[in-house]
């Protein structure tokens, strides 16, 4: 592909023009080619054979068809994967698949009573949840955002499929769980630490005393600030809090990565020091996503002046290591695993969305040349690749209805 220079559009949510980095590589790759690439990923991961698919139909419930996303390598279902599947379905306009995934998650993963009511178990068996696993904050974040986007793209239905009401219930629990419970009961906390305005790793016990940098999703928080209705009439207060959390996360992401390599740890304290639990003070699989988070945020909202520098730093680090660079490192750049990872390739391509840094076409073209993965470890690689393809082609969008809730004109949703 030939490189075409040109700026990355900032504040895509307001302008409706989402950066199309693929078009910057080669103008011959137009909408038809992008559609074909997206269709190929959908067919492989959602409709393919037993060596490629991660989407599986399950027994219907009283609310209709249900389905789950399988982490094939570990033979389980995770709130992370369910939320990614829901997000991909709404972004690609597959409503039936979205509803089936949401039905399974709400039926099997959501706690119905007790101090954790309203949260989602992070891990289940394909037959359902027979163990009391804790919530993980990234699952709730993507579930809530996917539900809000479904409401904006398709309109809400009723009961379980009243997407806007369901999203608000998830956001309310995330922000107000302790107040709902009358304090910290059985170790259960809010999903956002009240003192620091940061997302916690797990809202239970000691795991609520630190964070996971890849769970920081400022692009989503500002989206929630435009759409959340607020708990018990607190629309203004809750929206103000979400905006404050977004601002905090932008500053945090700049602090938590190494100043030379751009690499950050899987787990870190609220003041951005690595947390050494099971090797997660290193740059491992969770941390792959961190650069994508600040870059999507900058493309959507244009509020983070440090994003371009951060992406430039991390891409320079990987550019110096060749096209098949290792996947796991200490944050100082020491290699821990020489094997490459397509999930990391995908995230590093999304890092190009942070406008202003030197555009390195190799990161996007390497992603674009990948096929949907097959085999045992296709779950994480495949879902991150699919979302990355949507991001770099301008097809991952913060959907809003034609008559926006703020009375503003609707964005045109055209790729930039």
Q: Indicate which residues carry an active-site annotation.
A: 80, 286
- Closest by CA to 152, choosing from 402, 405, 407, 400, is 400
CB 272 within 8 A of CB 255: yes
Q: If DSSP codes are grouped into helix, strand and coil, which group holds residue 16?
A: coil
Alpha-carbon distances of 24 from 72, 236, 350, 351, rounded to whole Å: 35, 40, 14, 15
Beta strands in 80-224 (DSSP E): 123-124, 192-193, 198-199
C-alpha–C-alpha distance, residues 165 and 154, integer Å? 14
Instruction: Quote the CA–CA distance of 313 and 118 in Å, as a whole number.
Output: 39
Rounded to 5°, angle at Cα 406 from 404 and 412: 35
Specify whether the CB–CB gap between 54 and 354 falls below 8 A. Answer: no
Between the two ends of the chain, the Cα-to-Cα distance in Å is 18
Q: What are the b/e assignments for 310-343, b being 16+ CB within 10 Å?
A: bbbbbbebbeeeeeebbbbbbbeeeeeeeeebbb
Packing angle, helices 290-301 and 235-256, rounded to 10 = 130
Q: How far apart are CA 347 and CA 320, in angstroms?
A: 17
Q: Could you tell me if 144 and 223 are in contact, meaning their C-beta atoms sit under 8 angstroms apart?
A: no
Q: How far apart are the C-alpha atoms of 134 and 123, rounded to whole Å? A: 8
Report which DSSP code applies to 215: G
* C-beta separation of 69 from 111 below 8 A: no
């Amino acid at each position: 592909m030939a490189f075409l220079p040109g700026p990355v559009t900032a504040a895509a949510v307001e302008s409706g023009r989402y950066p199309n980095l693929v078009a910057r590589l080669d103008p011959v790759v137009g909408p038809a080619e992008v559609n074909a690439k997206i269709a190929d990923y959908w067919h492989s991961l959602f409709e393919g054979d037993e060596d490629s698919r991660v989407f599986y139909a399950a027994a219907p419930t009283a609310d209709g068809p249900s389905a789950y996303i399988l982490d094939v390598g570990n033979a389980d279902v995770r709130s992370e994967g369910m939320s990614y599947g829901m997000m991909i379905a709404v972004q690609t306009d597959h409503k039936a698949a979205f509803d089936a995934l949401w039905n399974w998650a709400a039926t099997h993963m959501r706690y119905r009573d007790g101090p954790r009511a309203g949260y989602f178990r992070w891990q289940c068996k394909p037959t359902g949840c027979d163990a009391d696993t804790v919530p993980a904050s990234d699952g709730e974040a993507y579930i809530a955002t996917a539900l809000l986007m479904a409401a904006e793209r398709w309109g809400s239905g009723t009961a379980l499929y009243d997407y806007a009401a369901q999203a608000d219930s998830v956001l309310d629990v995330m922000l107000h769980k302790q107040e709902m419970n009358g304090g910290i009961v059985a170790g259960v906390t809010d999903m956002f630490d009240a003192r620091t305005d940061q997302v916690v790793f797990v809202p239970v016990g000691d795991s609520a005393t630190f964070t996971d940098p890849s769970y920081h999703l400022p692009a989503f928080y500002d989206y929630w600030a435009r759409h959340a209705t607020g708990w018990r009439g607190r629309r203004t207060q809750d929206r103000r809090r979400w905006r404050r959390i977004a601002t905090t996360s932008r500053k945090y992401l700049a602090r938590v990565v190494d100043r030379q390599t751009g690499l950050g740890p899987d787990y870190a304290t609220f003041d951005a020091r690595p947390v050494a639990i099971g090797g997660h003070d290193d740059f491992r699989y969770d941390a792959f996503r961190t650069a994508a988070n600040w870059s999507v945020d900058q493309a959507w909202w244009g509020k983070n002046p440090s994003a371009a520098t951060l992406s430039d730093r991390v891409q320079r680090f990987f550019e110096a290591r060749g096209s098949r660079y290792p996947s796991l490192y200490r944050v100082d750049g020491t290699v821990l695993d020489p094997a490459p990872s397509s999930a990391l390739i995908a995230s590093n391509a999304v890092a190009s969305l942070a406008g202003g840094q030197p555009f390195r076409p190799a990161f996007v073209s390497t992603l674009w040349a990948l096929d949907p993965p097959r085999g045992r470890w296709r779950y994480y690689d495949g879902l991150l690749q699919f979302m990355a393809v949507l991001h770099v082609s301008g097809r991952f969008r913060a959907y809003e209805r034609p008559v926006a809730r703020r009375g503003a004109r609707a964005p045109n949703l055209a790729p930039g």
